């Protein structure tokens, strides 16, 4: 189909491989503007199409989508995207330019070929705005050094991180003393006596303060009541502050099937989740504790020496440390100590990389996903969508401690989850604010 040339207001977006591996349908999210895929991107996607990771799924789905969109047309010509409100797309072969990024940066690499595609469009489409879209910050900086406008892929990014930070816990002052007394005496009170006309958020936690004292409370949306929250022991682990108390309440609450716990290192996220799981071990067939593997320098773990177990042990060790800490709350002769060893030996409690568990059925499972900020929104969705009957999922992580190169605090899966699912009756979110490892650890978090 011939390319329409009348509308000069339509921009041309050049997509990098990182955008497609983040969201295979990204090509459809540029409104009426046009999209160009450098041939180098297709070559890189070809290397990702085999495997079971999310990036492999995204690569395969994009290739299928491109094949569907192109139909019988040649993809190096402008081809319409589906829908009257959308623009066109094409694949751009490696062009000849007066400016060559390989020469400018002194190295021939795929990133520079993608920059050359954008440079070519700037030279040949002078009346139109060309924008490189990449989740690779370094590539965006290189583009800007060549006077190419560059942007991150914004679809799905969380706009208001401050609102995200304040989700789940609220402090209300000036509460009447009689209301506080009633909560202490009867363990609950009608929500209207506390919240009045304020918006009611399912499974939200509150610190209610009067002039004399305060109480920790939870909004039960099903009963429309404000319930008292007490510090509860879980496998001999006791919450040390209000936020940990709220987190433990959510973990132990059978009405809540999905929990996210956000907090910096040392705030007790994983420890509380695991202790709560062990406390409820009789209610579930298995406990899974998993985390994504983010290798050093983002290289595949295959380059590390040794067998697969020795390769993975360093990544799983923090999870085993939490389990050992809980176990050491008891003497070796105690049945609780022995029970943990028995559960591990019988695979009632499984600690594994997330990739090993992702494809399994999640029925009757207590599933803890650690370091969830290193997952994409699609990975979070995939995990939750596999939940069967009597499954509870806990995601823990720190949205500001990202270890993968193409995610940030606004685009990672944990932020996406908190933003999209807040206020749902099956979901609770808690932010842990105070480090509880030691005074020395708090010094590092606060001052260094």
Q: With contact defined as beta carbons under 8 Å apart, do 197 and 208 qualify?
A: no
Which SS3 state, helix, strand or coil, does residue 109 take? coil
Q: What is the pLDDT of residue 295?
A: 47
Residue 45, classed as helix, strand or coil, is: helix
pLDDT, position 356 = 74
Cα distance between residue 343 and residue 265, in whole Å:
27
Secondary structure letter of residue 431 according to DSSP: E
Q: What is the pLDDT of residue 313?
A: 63
Nearest to 219 by CA among 257, 189, 251: 189
> pTM for the whole thing?
0.84
- Residue positions counted in the chain: 448
pLDDT at 288: 92
Encode pLDDT of 332-363 as tens digits.
999 999 999 999 999 999 888 887 776 677 89
What string of pLDDT tens digits covers the 448 residues of the chain? 444 445 577 899 999 999 999 999 999 999 899 999 999 999 999 999 888 778 888 999 999 999 999 888 898 999 998 766 789 999 999 888 888 999 999 999 999 999 999 999 999 998 999 999 999 999 999 999 999 999 999 988 888 888 887 788 999 999 999 999 999 999 999 999 999 888 889 999 999 999 989 999 999 999 999 999 999 999 999 999 999 999 999 999 999 999 999 998 889 999 999 999 999 999 999 999 998 876 433 444 444 444 444 545 666 788 888 999 999 999 999 999 999 999 999 999 988 888 777 667 789 999 999 999 999 998 899 899 989 999 999 999 999 999 888 899 999 999 999 999 988 999 999 999 877 666 776 676 677 6
User: Could you tell me the CA-to-CA distances from 214 to 116, 198, 353, 411 in Å, in that order?
Assistant: 63, 19, 42, 37
- Taking alpha carbons only, the member of 149, 115, 119 closest to residue 131 is 149
The pLDDT value recorded for residue 104 is 92
pLDDT value of residue 438: 67
What confidence score (pLDDT) does residue 312 get?
56
DSSP E strands in 249-405: the ranges are 258-263, 286-291, 349-353, 365-369, 392-397
């Amino acid at each position: 189909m011939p390319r329409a040339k009348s509308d000069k207001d339509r921009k041309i977006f050049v997509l990098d491989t990182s955008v497609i591996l983040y969201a295979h349908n990204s090509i459809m999210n540029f409104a009426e503007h046009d999209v160009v895929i450098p041939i180098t991107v297709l070559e890189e996607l070809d290397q990702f199409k085999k495997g079971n990771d999310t990036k492999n799924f995204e690569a395969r789905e994009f290739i299928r989508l491109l094949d569907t969109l192109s139909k019988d047309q040649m993809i190096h010509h402008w081809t319409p995207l589906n829908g009257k409100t959308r623009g066109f797309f094409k694949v751009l072969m490696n062009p000849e330019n007066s400016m060559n990024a390989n020469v400018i940066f002194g190295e021939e690499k795929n990133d520079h070929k993608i920059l050359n595609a954008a440079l070519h469009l700037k030279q040949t489409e002078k009346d139109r705005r060309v924008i490189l879209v990449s989740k690779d910050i370094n590539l965006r900086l290189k583009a800007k050094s060549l006077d190419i406008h560059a942007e991150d892929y914004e679809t799905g990014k969380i706009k208001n991180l401050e609102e995200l930070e304040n989700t789940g816990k609220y402090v209300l002052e000036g509460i009447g003393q009689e209301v506080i007394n009633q909560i202490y005496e009867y363990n609950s009170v009608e929500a209207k006596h506390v919240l009045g006309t304020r918006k009611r958020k399912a499974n939200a936690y509150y610190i209610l303060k009067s002039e004399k004292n305060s109480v920790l409370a939870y909004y039960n949306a099903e009963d429309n009541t404000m319930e008292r929250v007490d510090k509860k022991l879980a496998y001999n682990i006791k919450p040390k502050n209000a936020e940990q108390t709220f987190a433990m309440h959510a973990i132990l609450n059978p009405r809540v099937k999905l929990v996210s716990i956000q907090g910096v290192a040392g705030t007790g996220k994983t420890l509380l989740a695991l202790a709560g799981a062990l406390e409820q071990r009789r209610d579930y067939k298995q406990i899974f504790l998993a985390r994504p593997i983010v290798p050093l320098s983002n290289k595949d773990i295959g380059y590390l020496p040794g067998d697969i177990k020795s390769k993975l042990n360093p990544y799983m060790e923090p999870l085993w440390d939490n389990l050992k800490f809980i176990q050491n709350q008891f003497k070796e002769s105690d049945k609780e100590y022995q029970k943990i060893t028995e559960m591990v030996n019988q695979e009632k409690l499984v600690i594994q990389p997330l990739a090993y568990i992702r494809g399994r059925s999640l029925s009757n499972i207590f599933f803890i996903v650690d370091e969830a900020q290193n997952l994409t929104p699609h990975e979070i969705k995939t995990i939750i969508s596999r939940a069967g009957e009597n499954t509870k999922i806990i995601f823990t992580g720190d949205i500001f401690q990202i270890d993968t190169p193409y995610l940030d605090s606004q685009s990672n899966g944990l932020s996406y989850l908190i933003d999209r699912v807040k206020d749902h009756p099956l979901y609770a979110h808690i932010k842990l604010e105070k480090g509880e490892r030691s005074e020395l650890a708090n010094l590092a978090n606060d001052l260094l």
